[in-house]
């Protein structure tokens, strides 16, 4: 292992904060936005027990991107994103369609869609590139993220989508909260739980598609799951989970982008995830609802 904290590292750190290269600024902003929007959407996924759906949806973007590439011909970013969005959403719908039939399991449904869609994507990709080895340039950053490669247009798109999704959550907060907490009660007071469900799937697909560039396909699930899960140890009310989750997501994103700049060979995706994991560990151990406040692993219950 090369030395981690050399004088060169320090020099690069200073360089980073001088913000003289636009790509570093874009990388930082992209990572921050990804952290925020994934945490906010991911909170509802985690609370509904749909955490790994984010993993499936992330993997399912690949065939859409390839299909768009084939149809449109050139590397048109907009078309590729629409393709990714369509296949991501279809995957999310299919998981639900498979899950509630007899002789199926919901966890297996996620695994099936995840791997089959991704397999279709790999097949298409290798076919497009006309070789049996699917190892090609560009796939690396798609898989593991490369926030530094984010262009200005992509950044605008990411910002726009983040604003839309986060305000959407704020506006529909009551519906989302009740439908997630107690769906039967929600139906009884007239909340359209089906619409809420599909809306959440749509939000998930959008969040994943715009985040894949920075975090990569394999780890986007982490940014959906980890920051909100950390927040659950730090607060006992849902608005707090969203805010603190977003904050942790932003911090993880920023630190991840920074770390990626400091050390060569460190992709932004894994770096963000490790930061998020670190915060999770701290929250798990020291948070007000974490381990040291609640020894033995069972919640402290009041007596009758």
Partner 1 sequence: MTYALEVKGLSVSYGRGPVVNKMSFALDKGDLVGIVGPNGAGKSSLIKAMVGALTPDEGSIRVGGDSGKKATRRITYVPQRGEVDWDFPVTVEDVVTQGRYGKVGLLGRFGAEDRRLIAEAIDLVGIGELKSRQIGELSGGQQQRVFLARALAQQGDIYLLDEPLVGVDAATESAIVEVLRNLGDGGKTVMVVHHDLSTAREYFDKILLMNKDRIAFGPVDEVFTPQLLQKTYGGRLTVLGSGSVAVMAD
Partner 2 sequence: MYDLLIEPWSWGAWMWRAMLASVLAAIPLAVLGVFLYLRRMSLIADALSHVALLGIVVAFLVTGSMEGPVMLAGAAAVGLVAAISIEALARRPNVRSDAAIGIVFTVLFAAGIILISTSVHDAHIDTQCVLFGNPLAISNRALWMLGGVAPAVVLGVIIFYRWLSVSSFDPILAASIGIPVTLVHYGLMTAVSLTTVASFESVGSILAIALMIVPAATAHLLANRLSTMLMVAVAHAVLSAVLGVYVSIWINASTAGAIVVVGGALYALAFLFAPHGVLGRMIRRRAHRAQTRPESSTPPQQIG
List residues near partner 1 by CB under 8 A: 47, 102, 171-172, 174-175, 177-178, 180-185, 187-191, 232, 235-238, 240-241, 289, 299-304
Q: Please say which residue, 102 or 296, places its beta carbon nearer to partner 1.
A: 102
Query: How would you class 2 by CB atoms within 10 Å of its CB: exposed for 0-12, middle for 13-18, buried for 19 or more?
Result: exposed
**Comparison of 25 and 99: residue with beta carbon closer to partner 2:** 99
Q: What does the CA dihedral 157, 160, 163, 168 come to, rounded to 10 degrees?
A: -100
Residues 256/271, Cβ–Cβ less than 8 Å: yes
Compare residues 232 and 238 and give the one whose CB is closer to partner 2: 232
**Pick from partner 1, partner 2, none: which does 229 bind, CB < 5 to 8 A by kind?**
partner 2
What does 159 bind: partner 1, partner 2, none (CB cut-off 5 to 8 Å by kind)?
none
Binding partner of residue 153 among partner 1, partner 2, none, CB cut-off 5 to 8 Å per kind: none
Q: Does 130 bind partner 2 (CB under 8 A)?
A: yes
Per DSSP, helices labelled H in 73-219 are 77-99, 106-128, 139-144, 152-171, 173-181, 183-188, 193-215
C-beta separation of 24 from 148 below 8 A: yes
Of residues 53 through 112, those in contact with partner 2 by CB under 8 A are: 54-55, 98, 101-105, 107-112
Contact (CB, 8 A) for 230 and 284? yes
Q: Does 226 bind partner 2 (CB under 8 A)?
A: yes
The closest of 292, 143, 120, 289 to 216, measured between CA atoms, is: 143
What residues numbered 282-301 form the site for partner 2, per CB under 8 A? Answer: 284, 289, 291, 294, 297-299
The reply to whether 114 sits near partner 2 by the rule CB under 8 A is yes
* Residue 190, token pair as written in the block: 């007239």
Q: List the interface residues with partner 2, window 156-195 (CB under 8 A).
A: none
């Amino acid at each position: 292992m090369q030395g981690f904290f050399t004088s060169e590292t320090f020099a690069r750190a200073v360089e980073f904060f001088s913000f003289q290269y636009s790509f570093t600024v874009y990388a930082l902003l992209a990572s921050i936005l990804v952290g925020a929007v994934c945490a906010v959407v991911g909170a509802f996924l985690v609370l509904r027990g749909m955490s790994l759906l984010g993993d499936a949806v992330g993997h399912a973007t690949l065939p859409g991107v390839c299909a768009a590439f084939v149809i449109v011909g050139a590397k048109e970013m907009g078309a590729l994103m629409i393709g990714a969005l369509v296949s991501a959403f279809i995957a999310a719908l299919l998981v639900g369609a498979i899950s509630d039939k007899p002789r199926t399991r919901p966890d297996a449904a996620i695994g099936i869609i995840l791997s089959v869609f991704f397999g279709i994507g790999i097949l298409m990709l290798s076919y497009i590139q006309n070789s049996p080895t699917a190892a090609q340039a560009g796939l690396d950053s798609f898989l593991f993220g490369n926030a530094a490669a984010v262009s200005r247009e992509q950044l605008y798109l990411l910002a726009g989508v983040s604003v839309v999704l986060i305000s959407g959550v704020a506006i529909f907060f009551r519906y989302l909260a009740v439908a997630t907490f107690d769906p039967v009660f929600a139906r009884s007071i007239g909340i359209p739980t089906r619409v809420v469900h599909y809306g959440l799937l749509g939000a998930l697909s959008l969040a994943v598609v715009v985040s894949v560039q920075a975090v990569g396909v394999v780890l986007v699930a982490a940014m959906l799951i980890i920051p909100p899960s950390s927040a659950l140890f730090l607060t006992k009310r849902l608005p707090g989970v969203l805010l603190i989750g977003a904050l942790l997501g932003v911090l993880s994103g920023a630190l991840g982008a920074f770390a990626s700049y400091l050390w060569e060979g460190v992709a932004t995706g894994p770096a963000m995830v490790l930061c998020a994991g670190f915060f999770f560990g701290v929250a798990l151990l020291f948070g007000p609802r974490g381990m040291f406040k609640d020894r033995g692993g069972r919640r402290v219950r009041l007596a009758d």
